Chain A
Amino acid sequence: MYHTDKSCEIWAVAGGKGGTGKSFITSSIATQLALKGRRLVIIDADFGGANLHSFFGISRPKHSLSEFFEERIPLSQIIVHSGISNMGLITGALGSLDSESISYTQKQKLFRQIRSLEADYILIDLGAGSHINTLDTFLLADKMIVVTVPEVTAIENLYQFIKSVYFRKLKFFLGSFGLKDMLQDAWKNKAAYGIRNFANLLDHVKKSSPDVHVAFEKEMSTFVVYIILNQVRKSTDILVGENLKSVCLKLLGLTAVYAGYADYDEEVQKYINRKEPFMIHCRLSPVIREIEDITEHIMSGKTAIFSARSYEHGRY
């Protein structure tokens, strides 16, 4: 179900918990890309609580995704202008749409049309939670981005989300080998196989055959999650992203890139509440610079360097 044809690059933003600033980060990164002269379309795929349009000061968007699902209008015809040049916006379905009822064929069609949009970048803002639609859209992306805040509940949900994504990916991967039932079997007989955690499960998959092992390593080498830490209030918070990166690697065997952090800034909050795009109007905030860095790191795939200096000021 995943196309390799790369006419545009798709970035998907998710994170598990609500209220961590996914839409804020997505809209800010999008603005930054637009300011750099890239053409892009930003899609609000938070089916439950679409509000990305508010970040661009749009109150009643003319079109929304519900027209795509309910009236079969092509995706390219429901793009509204974001108010920022180079950037089109596809707003989420407001109100009645029952996201559970989106069929597999509809999803396929949506993904196909997303891929063929005329743009350099497509940014998809996903909702909270680990719904299967969220996971599948996330896996469709070329760059998988998660946003969290330095709070235990947010990190808990993020970790769970990453595990769910990984599990789903594993299922697709094994399916392509005709081993669709392996995970179910492994789970049912977990005591017999000695599977107590995710790492054991991965070992079990790798052990099944040398072919699977090689293919698995190859597949996973391109599977990278970008972590963004939002609402940083003190310098020690910065390292939370670094620690999460380590945990992903050590406990899940998963490569993560710490793309950067954004400070908590009262000023930014004011602009959001006034429904004004802060990236355009609030140029003095330190968050501007941080968003520029984050965007740069995701574009280049390079991890942010906080190492030497921040470790010394860290908690340990």
Chain B
Amino acid sequence: MSTEDTRRYYEVLELPPDAPFAEVRKKYLYLNAFYMGDSMELAALNGDAPYHRRQGILAELQDAYDRLKDILGREEPVQQPLQSPDVTVRESMRDYLDGIAAFSGPILKEIREKMGIDLGSMAIATKVQKRYLEEIEAEQFTWIPAEVYLRGYVIEYARHLSLDHQKVAEDYMKRYRKFRSSSEEKK
């Protein structure tokens, strides 16, 4: 990859070209959440940031982050601080979590039950309706209003369990897209 490309990826993430990987990751997560969310700033743009443009920006961010991760991220992965302090991941739990290759609805449910967290309290903490959390676990995708919302909910879910929410969202959305493309074929 040329340095020109690298510079461009840093630009996409709005960082100086000497930012360390920890900074890259932080900024990526931040911007990703910003363009996925429903903030006041985006609401103020009066339709200048419609769904498809935001999807474009998100794809660009993802690409820039992935490329920079390839270049810079070979060192130790950055330890994210626990998002919910009431959940402590014990050692045995860590082994169990490390053994998971790809996250899915049923696996998320299993993890949650192992941690002894009920959906009611999770709904309160994440501000995601319990019904949606149940449907995420059951992988019932028929209710989904838009992909960004589902992704947002899955991230909230994973954060509450102190999981690597980026990885969870990636795995989960892959399954969702597979589901959607196969259901479109049936039509």
Contacts and interface: CB of A to CB of B under 8 A. Distances in A.
A314 B46 contact: no
B31 interface: yes
Nearest to A156: B44
Contacts of A240: 40-41
B48 A246 contact: no
B14 A198 contact: no
Contacts of A124: none
Interface size class of B (residues with CB under 8 A): 20 to 34
A137 to B, nearest CB: 25
B174 interface: no
B34 A249 contact: no
Contacts of B27: 307, 311
B48 A316 contact: no
A243 B34 contact: yes
Contacts of A198: 48
B23 A308 contact: yes
A155 B30 contact: no
Interface in B38-88: 39-46, 48-49, 53, 57, 81
A316 B41 contact: no
Contacts of B40: 150-152, 155, 240
Given A240-B41, A243-B41, A316-B37, A311 B48 contact: no
A21 to B, nearest CB: 18
A168 interface: no
Given A197-B48, A198-B48, 16 more contacts: A155-B40, A155-B44, A156-B44, A159-B45, A159-B46, A240-B41, A243-B39, A243-B41, A245-B14, A249-B14, A250-B57, A307-B27, A312-B26, A316-B29, A316-B34, A316-B37
Interface of A: 150-153, 155-156, 159, 197-198, 240, 243-247, 249-251, 307-308, 311-312, 314-316
